[in-house]
Structure 1
Amino acid sequence: MTLMPRLMLLLLALSPLSVLAAPAPAALVEGKDYEVIQAPGPLAPLAGKIEVAEVYGYTCPHCAHFEPLLQAWQKKLPKDVRFTPVPAVFGGYWDSYARAYYAADQLGVAKRSHVAMFDALHEKGSLPLSNVSPTELAGFYKDYGVTEQQFTTALKSDEVEAKLAVAKSFAQRVKVQGTPSLIVNGKYLVKGTSFESMLRNADALIARERERAAKAR
């Protein structure tokens, strides 16, 4: 090959046209990248937002491994996306920790203590993975300025009971089969072969919902 054809090929490879000609990202495949929820509906009224709900469990090791990636991803979410943690209410110790999350949320310390709770269970071992007592949970939240009386009162409150019922109903309706699970706008149960692919698929589904909302205006 002479110098001129080689130079032309190099210039073409560096040109804007070559960028435009690059293959587009593969389209999402139903059944592989996501499942359509048969009884759709968001956890809470959308109010102009795109909802991403994560059904998780503090005692779930997969959720603990997912959390650092999820935290980094959340920080980059656009303002029109609302992320909501939804503790799994699967019975037994799952319910104990779900109740603890909603009690902490009621007391205004859930966001600050969320990552630390995973660490307490999976790194430090300062809380048991099962059969946790209200006193043990209260001891954990004491580090966030919550007294045992405040925590115990919140734990038994009607507000927490109501939120537990909503969380349980939501997970059953969208047919969550395990944790962690991501649900976009109550329409799509996100799938993936890795945590990274789950987040990429969630991004694509968020973009799909944003585009649909724009067309509906």
Structure 2
Amino acid sequence: MISGMKRPYLMWLAVGALYCAFVSPRIASAGEFPKNQASLDAYIRDYILKNPSIVRQALLELQQQEDGDHAREVLRGYRKDIYGTNSPEIGDKAAKITIVEFYDYNCPYCRASYPRLKAFLKTHPDTKLLLKDTASFGKDSEAVGRLALAANIQGEFAAFHDALMSQKGTMTNVRALDIAKGLGINIERLKADASSAKISEALDQTRLLANKLNVTTTPLFIIGHNGIVGVPDDFDKQLASYVDAVRTAGCDAC
């Protein structure tokens, strides 16, 4: 949506773009336009009125460019908060390309995307997954999120995360502990770490970052300068495209 404040500015840019794209080349190639300014302005106005879709497309492209520039600026500003933390990772730690995911263990779309992410990491060994648990689905989610972060302290995060994301129904503290037992994780240490101030601080930092970035839904993925909200039909295509963009051109926000 283009705000009322942005529209006049973008309209002028759109008119300028239309002039350069459609008017100037024709003047240069064919002397068919009036040579005085008033007549030329009238021609441009008439052209725009007869072709409103071109203006809409120009406005859309300008808005997308403006939004993209703003996103880059925001991501650069929070680079350390996004990447310079002790958030759990899945994949080769030396991988050059990082996919950041904001998620919740009781988010059905997060679970739906996980097998596709897992397969992508396997076929793209230069990528890794950096996980930010928002624990935004209530007390059960927070309890499970604490256990997952505690499992990370024991070096058991990847296996625990994989098991949690493979379940159906509401994931609770009791269910998560049963899964941890099955994986051979030290349960007493897990409980102690999960209730520690360190884990509380980690969750608070993730929630604060999510608020700063206006993360209102999960999953949300950040790949370089681009983001994916939810699990769109072309999720795999978008993911591959954004990863390839970082691989090819680098990223000043990563």
Same fold (TM over 0.5): yes
Trace 1:22-171 onto structure 2 (pairs within 5 A).
36=71, 39-40=74-75, 41-42=78-79, 43-45=82-84, 49-79=96-126, 81-90=127-136, 91-120=138-167, 122=168, 129=170, 132-133=172-173, 136-171=175-210
Residues 99, 128 of structure 2: 8 Å contact kept: yes
**Which of these residues, 211, 224, 245, is aligned with residue 172 of structure 1?**
211
5+ long unaligned stretches in structure 1: 1-28
Q: Calculate the TM-score normalised by the size of structure 1.
A: 0.66
Q: Which residue of 1 aligns with 2:19?
A: none
Identify if the C-alpha distance between structure 1 residues 168 and 151 changes in structure 2 by more than 3 Å, giving closer, same or farther: same
CA distance in 1, matches of 2:130, 2:154: 17
More helix by share: 2
Supply the AA of the counterpart residue of 1:190: I
Instruction: Identify the match of residue 226 of structure 2 among 174, 180, 188.
Output: 188
Instruction: Please state whether the residue corresponding to 2:199 is helix, strand or coil.
Output: helix
Moved >4 Å (runs of 4+): none
Counterpart AA for 1:172: N
Listed as ranges, the gaps of 5+ residues in structure 2 are 1-60, 86-93
Which has the higher Rg, Structure 1 or Structure 2?
Answer: 2
Q: Residue 200 of structure 1 aligns with which residue? A: 237
What is the alpha-carbon distance in structure 2 between the residues aligned to residue 157 and residue 176 of structure 1?
26
Q: Secondary structure in 1 aligned to 2:102?
A: strand
Q: What code does the residue aligned with 1:67 have?
A: Y
Aligned residues: 175
With a CA cutoff of 8 Å and minimum separation of 6, indicate the structure with the bigger relative contact order.
1
Identity of aligned residues (%): 19
Aligned residues: CA RMSD: 3.2
Inter-partner Cα distance in structure 2 for 1:189 and 1:214: 13
* Pair 184,214 (structure 1): closer, same or farther in 2 beyond 3 Å: closer
Q: Which moved more, 1:62-71 or 1:167-176?
A: 167-176
Task: Provide the TM-score with structure 2 as the length reference.
Answer: 0.58
Contact 2:147–2:191, Cα closer than 8 Å, also in 1: no
Cα distance between partner residues in 1 of 2:184 and 2:231: 40
Letter in 1 for 2:193: A
Matched residue type, 2:74: A
1:52 deviates by 0.9
Distance 1:104 1:64, change over 3 A: same
- Residue 66 of structure 1 deviates from its aligned partner by 1.7
- C-alpha separation between the residues in 2 aligned to 1:137 and 1:193? 25
Q: Check 1:69–1:214 CA distance in 2 against 1; reply closer, same or farther (3 A cut).
A: closer
